Amino acid sequence: MLDQSLAALFPDGLGKEWISALSTVLLVVGAVILRKVVLTVLSSFFGTLVRRSDSAEHQRRIETLGRVAGHTLSLLIVVVTVLVVLNTLGISIAPILGAAGVAGVAIGFGAQSLVKDFFSGVFLLLENQIRVGDVVEVAGKSGVVESMTLRRVQLRSLDGAVHYVSNGLITTVTNFSTEFAYALVDIGVAYKEDIDQVFSVMRATASQMKEVEPFSRTVIGDLEILGVDQWADSAIMIRCRMKTQPLQQAAARREFLKRLKRAFDEAGISIPFPHRTLIFEGGAARTIAPSSTTKSD
């Protein structure tokens, strides 16, 4: 079709080779322009959806779908362009398609892992299990999802290492970025302390913490005191938790512990540490803290 149009534009004749070469160039240029336009339209479309979304979780899902759609359409444009160029150069693509069908069956038995990766990627997207920007643990690796395709997931761990995990290897997904999180804290106090007073100080500290930025936005629930968790060797362990925005539980936990240490000091609540009682022959029992033991040694 394109060859006939060029021949009509140049009735005096350009030569079959020149027409084929010019057709190929025009097809490649057209494919590049088409790819650019498609990616721009997709970026604008998904960007609009992101701006209209009122949830960070939905925004990450839309961005992930946009990236996967861009990769898929780019690959489709490249494949179609190659086939059309071959046909323009006079190479029949029918035998190629037929051979591709036969080869596809043969390769399918040897490339089952690739097929598994593809379908696993499709279900990961449809079920909204992983999105770009999430902190996840998959196939024994954990980190921030930097990119995701229908074949693999790219993770960057806390120490900066990059992990490439094939979708087919993902059987269990632990997502730390979904909806909300809990900052789980274990507090140890001395056996002599009044537990009810300890509870009151903990609640007051959490309430004061919620009144300052940025924790007024990241902490989305009141402190839940789960109660006395165990009687340890030198302390009564109290377990509590605080509901936060996803990925903010570590920062909330650190801030709460810092403030609670100050509050316990002001209230005279003892935070226990191990002691040793040494009995000397002919003498009275003497309690020595770890620091004193170290000096005497």
Question: Tell me: the pLDDT tens digits for 116-168?
Answer: 888 888 888 888 888 888 899 998 999 999 988 888 899 999 889 999 999 88
Q: In the prediction, which pLDDT does 225 show?
A: 95
Per-residue b/e over 147-158, b at no fewer than 16 CB within 10 Å?
ebbbbbbbbeee
CATH class of the domain whose range is 130-175: mainly beta
Residues carrying CATH 2.30.30.60, the chain: 130-175
| Two tokens, residue 130 | 């992983």
Q: Tokens 């990450």 belong to which residue?
A: 60
Q: Determine the length of the chain.
A: 297
Give 238's contacts (C-beta < 8 A, 6+ positions apart): 186, 187, 188, 189, 195, 198, 199, 202, 225, 227, 228, 229
Read off φ and ψ for residue 228, nearest 5 degrees.
-75, 120
Read off φ and ψ for residue 3, nearest 5 degrees.
-65, -40
Residue pair 256/183 in contact (Cβ under 8 Å)? The answer is: yes
Q: In the prediction, which pLDDT does 256 show?
A: 96
Read off φ and ψ for residue 232, nearest 5 degrees.
-85, 180
Q: How far apart are CA 22 and CA 41, in angstroms?
A: 28
Q: In the prediction, which pLDDT does 238 show?
A: 95
Q: What is the H or E stretch that residue 127 is in?
A: none
CATH assignment of 181-267, given 3.40.50.1820, 3.30.70.100, 3.40.1350.10, 3.50.50.60?
A: 3.30.70.100
Give the model confidence (pLDDT) of 210-233 as tens digits: 999 899 989 998 999 999 999 988
Work out the average pLDDT over 169-185. 89
Give the model confidence (pLDDT) of 13-65 as tens digits: 455 666 667 777 888 888 888 888 888 888 888 788 777 776 666 677 777 77
| Two tokens, residue 170 | 């993902």
Work out the average pLDDT over 77-98. 74
Residue type for 45, please?
F
Read off φ and ψ for residue 261, nearest 5 degrees.
-60, -45
Tell me how far CA of residue 51 lies from CA of 43, 48, 68, 130, 179, in angstroms: 12, 5, 19, 20, 19
Q: How far apart are CA 201 and CA 204, in angstroms?
A: 5
Work out the average pLDDT over 74-98. 75
Residues carrying CATH 3.30.70.100, the chain: 181-267
User: What would the 3-class secondary structure string for 8-48 be?
Assistant: HHCCCCCCHHHHHHHHHHHHHHHHHHHHHHHHHHHHHHHHH
pLDDT level of residue 294 (50, 70, 90 thresholds): very low
As its CATH architecture, domain 2-110 has Orthogonal Bundle (1.10)
Q: Which of 219, 99, 236, 119 is nearest to 167 (CA)?
A: 119
Residue pair 208/259 in contact (Cβ under 8 Å)? The answer is: yes
- Whether the per-residue pLDDT at 90 is higher than 80: the answer is no
Residues carrying CATH 1.10.287, the chain: 2-110
Work out the average pLDDT over 73-82. 84
Residue type for 63, please?
E
Give the model confidence (pLDDT) of 238-275 as tens digits: 999 999 998 889 999 999 999 999 999 999 999 887 66
Give 269's contacts (C-beta < 8 A, 6+ positions apart): 189, 190, 193, 197, 198, 201
pLDDT level of residue 277 (50, 70, 90 thresholds): low
Please state whether the peptide bond connecting residue 214 to the residue before it is cis, i.e. omega within 30 degrees of 0: yes
